[in-house]
Structure formats: structure tokens, C-alpha cells
Structure 1
Amino acid sequence: MQLAVWDTYIERTDGKTMHFDILVPSTLTDEQTIIGFGRDYVRTKPFATHPLSTHHCRFCHFERATEEIIDSIETKGYAILEMENCT
């Protein structure tokens, strides 16, 4: 499966910046759907963030999916790769 990687940065209310990638099938191009996936992910966190918008999330590149990512996409429609300040 070919993935589209959406590079996402959002400020937490404690001043730290979260950095994570939203991974979706390359055929999914609707930005509002992709932002919605990011919002769903952020709501699972025990800390508050500023609102997520298209300003915070940009298409970055395509890559090949691993089995773990394919499983997540088949279950939720997306996968998240945590990079910085996500815990």
C-alpha cells in the first residue's frame, strides 16, 4: 500500500509543540478528512492543545506502508507516527 504522509505540528497549551505524521492511503486527498483524523488522535491525549487546522498539517511525501500501518488503516482509516512531544 502506498501512503501519503501529512506532517503535522500543533502547539500544546503548556507551550510544547507536538509533531506527528498522519498516514493515509495515497488515494485519500480530502484535507478535511485528514485533519479530522488528526483531531481524533489529539483528543486521545491527556493534555490540551490548540485547535488543529489545515495551517498545522501539510502533505509531505509518499512512502510504502508496513504491515502494522496497513492494519491501523484498515481498522481506523489512518495511522499516526508520533515524532515529538506526543506523550
Structure 2
Amino acid sequence: MKVSVWDTHVPRKDGKVMHFDILVPSSLTDTDVIFGYGREYLESKPFQSGKLSSNECRFCHMESAPPDIVNNIETEGYHIIEMENCS
């Protein structure tokens, strides 16, 4: 499956900046849906963060996803790759 990778940087209330990627099917282009997935992920965190909009989340590139990510996308609609300050 080809996926779109959305590079995301969201400030946390403690001053750190979260860096994570939102992966969605390449056919999904509705930014309201994509940003909604990012907000859903942020709400799952035990700390507060800033808002998520086009200023914090931008399309980066497309790539082929491995089976575990494909399974998660097929189940949840998206997949998050945590990179910095996400826990």
C-alpha cells in the first residue's frame, strides 16, 4: 500500500515540541480528516499540547508501507510514527 506521510510538529504545554508522522492511504487527501487523526492521537497523550493545523502538519512524501503499518491503517484509518517528545 502506498501511504502519504504528514510531518507533524506540535508544541507541548511544557515547552517541548512533539515530532511525529501521520501515515494515511495515499488516496486520502482531505486535510480535515488527516488533522482529525492527529488530534485523536494528541488526545490520547497524558500531557497537554497545542493545536494541530496546517501550520503544524504538512504533507512530506509518499512511500510503500510494511504489512504491520498497512494492517493498522486498515483497522484505524491511520498510523502514527512517534519521533521526538511523544511520551
Q: Same fold (TM over 0.5)?
A: yes
Identical aligned pairs, as a percentage? 57
1:7 Cα deviation after fit = 0.1
Aligned residues: 87
Moved over 4 A (4+): none
Unpaired segments ≥5 residues, structure 2: none
1:14 Cα deviation after fit = 0.1
Distance 2:85 2:30 in 1: 26
Give the AA of the match of 2:59: F
If the length of structure 1 is used for normalisation, what is the TM-score? 0.98
Deviations, residues 26-45 of structure 1 (Å, cap 9, x unaligned): 00001110000000000000
- Which residue pairs with 1:24 in the alignment? 24
Unpaired segments ≥5 residues, structure 1: none
- Which residue pairs with 1:6 in the alignment? 6
Task: Provide the secondary structure at the position in 2 that maps to 1:52.
Answer: coil
Distance 2:74 2:4 in 1: 15
